[in-house]
């Protein structure tokens, strides 16, 4: 008996088609995606559902909470795992959110395509086949949410889209991929590390959290605007390991008196510093004056973690403890 795999189509390039000289738009439902890959029938008993038909910048947190409900339901009905087909633009964010809210051992695999079906060499069918292979793979249980693209397996917590159109657009930082595919076989070479599932009510209202970047010569006025606009948290992508000009630092510290302010690195990878630089606006200064370190989470992921925490009603201490646990799940006494 082949394992049952639930496929949920969300849209994205893998599902895009178009006519004439104009570009492509989301058009293909889940059945069309599955029918295009006859080899799936050798791997799993696939049950496909068109869940949304969106370009992925339009995916929202309520969409993802509804998707999480549907995945849980499919697993409760006997699915061994689930595959989500999705636009690549926000795929890393969807994977990260699902990984934070699903408390499942069943493998959940997000995939998509860089080349749409109208182009020569579309990658969607191969990615979908690999994603189903991984979702049906026994040892993938307990690894949380993963992204499969271009014959590679990435953990939701590390994956990033790093190219606009190259089929090798996805990478994992600070660690590399968890595994790969070879001649149809799943190869798992790493473990993603402990999971931190959050208890967020599925009907909780999304909470706006701004993601800003420190840039040379900027006066930081967007921080004021973010507060005036009603953002309830700020993630600042600082330079390097956690730095800003002292006048921007002062604005961040003022903001931290009103809403949680998390500092990530605009480099997109590497752990934030804690005890190296001590100029005004350095990481030592910003942390001492109330900012929260994103640890090794990039700005996109830190923003989603803060959003989910605020949606869960977490207080300041819980927010700080949760971010701290991401850096070091078992701090030395
Ligand atoms: N370029 C995107 C994709 O890969 C469009 C989107 O994210 O929906 O699907």
Best of 26, 88, 165, 169 for a ligand 1 pocket test (most atoms within 8 Å of beta carbon): 88
Mean pLDDT value of segment 294-311:
98
Tens of pLDDT, residues 123-160: 999 999 999 999 999 999 999 999 999 999 999 999 99
Question: Of ligand 1's atoms, which has the minimum distance to the CA of residue 55?
Answer: 8
Position 168 confidence tier, pLDDT thresholds 50, 70, 90: very high
Q: Phi and psi for 306 in degrees, rounded to 5?
A: -65, -40
CA of 14 to the centre of ligand 1 (A): 8
Q: Phi and psi for 102 in degrees, rounded to 5?
A: -90, 125
As a whole number of angstroms, the distance between CA 326 and CA 219 comes to 31
Predicted pLDDT at 204: 97
Predicted pLDDT at 192: 86
Position 20 confidence tier, pLDDT thresholds 50, 70, 90: confident
Three-state DSSP class for residue 282? coil
Which comes out higher in pLDDT, residue 90 or 19?
90
Tens of pLDDT, residues 29-58: 999 999 999 999 999 999 999 999 999 999
Catalytic residue status for 13: yes
Q: Residues with Cβ within 6 A of ligand 1?
A: 12-13, 55-56, 87-89, 112
Residue 315 has pLDDT above 70, yes or no: yes
Percent of the chain's residues with pLDDT above 90: 93
Question: Of ligand 1's atoms, which has the minimum distance to the CA of residue 89?
Answer: 7
Predicted pLDDT at 193: 81
Question: Of ligand 1's atoms, which has the minimum distance to the CA of residue 86?
Answer: 9
Determine which one of 13, 85, 111, 307 is catalytic. Answer: 13
Predicted pLDDT at 160: 98
Give the position of tokens 């390097």.
240
Predicted pLDDT at 86: 98
Q: Which residues contact 133 (CB under 8 A, 6 or more apart)?
A: 43, 181, 184, 186
């Amino acid at each position: 008996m082949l394992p049952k795999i639930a496929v949920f189509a969300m849209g994205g390039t893998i599902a895009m088609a178009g006519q004439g000289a104009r570009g492509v738009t989301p058009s293909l439902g889940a059945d069309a995606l599955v029918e295009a890959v006859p080899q799936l029938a050798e791997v799993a008993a696939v049950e496909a559902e068109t869940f949304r038909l969106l370009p992925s910048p339009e995916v929202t947190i309520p969409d993802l909470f509804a998707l999480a409900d549907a995945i849980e339901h499919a697993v409760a009905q006997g699915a061994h795992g689930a595959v989500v087909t999705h636009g690549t633009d926000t795929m890393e964010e969807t994977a990260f959110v699902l990984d934070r809210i699903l408390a499942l051992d069943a493998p959940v695999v997000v995939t998509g395509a860089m080349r749409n079906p109208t182009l020569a060499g579309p990658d969607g069918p191969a990615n979908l086949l690999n994603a189903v292979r991984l979702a049906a793979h026994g040892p993938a249980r307990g690894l949380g949410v993963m992204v499969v693209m271009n014959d590679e397996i990435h953990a939701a917590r590390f994956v990033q889209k790093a190219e606009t159109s190259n089929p090798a657009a996805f990478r994992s930082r600070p660690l590399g991929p968890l595994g790969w595919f070879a001649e149809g076989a799943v190869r798992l070479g790493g473990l993603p590390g402990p999971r931190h599932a959050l208890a967020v009510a599925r009907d909780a209202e999304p909470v706006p959290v701004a993601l800003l970047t420190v840039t040379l010569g900027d006066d930081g006025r967007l921080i004021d605007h973010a507060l005036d606009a009603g953002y309830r948290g700020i993630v600042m992508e600082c330079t390097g390991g956690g730095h800003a000009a002292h006048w921007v630092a002062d604005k961040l510290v003022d903001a931290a008196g009103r809403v949680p302010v998390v500092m990530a690195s605009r480099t997109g990878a590497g752990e934030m510093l804690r005890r190296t630089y001590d100029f005004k606006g350095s990481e030592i200064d910003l942390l001492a004056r109330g900012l929260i370190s994103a640890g090794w989470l990039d700005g996109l992921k830190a923003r989603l973690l803060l959003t989910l925490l605020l949606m869960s009603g977490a207080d300041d201490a819980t927010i700080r403890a949760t971010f701290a646990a991401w850096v070091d799940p078992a701090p030395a006494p």
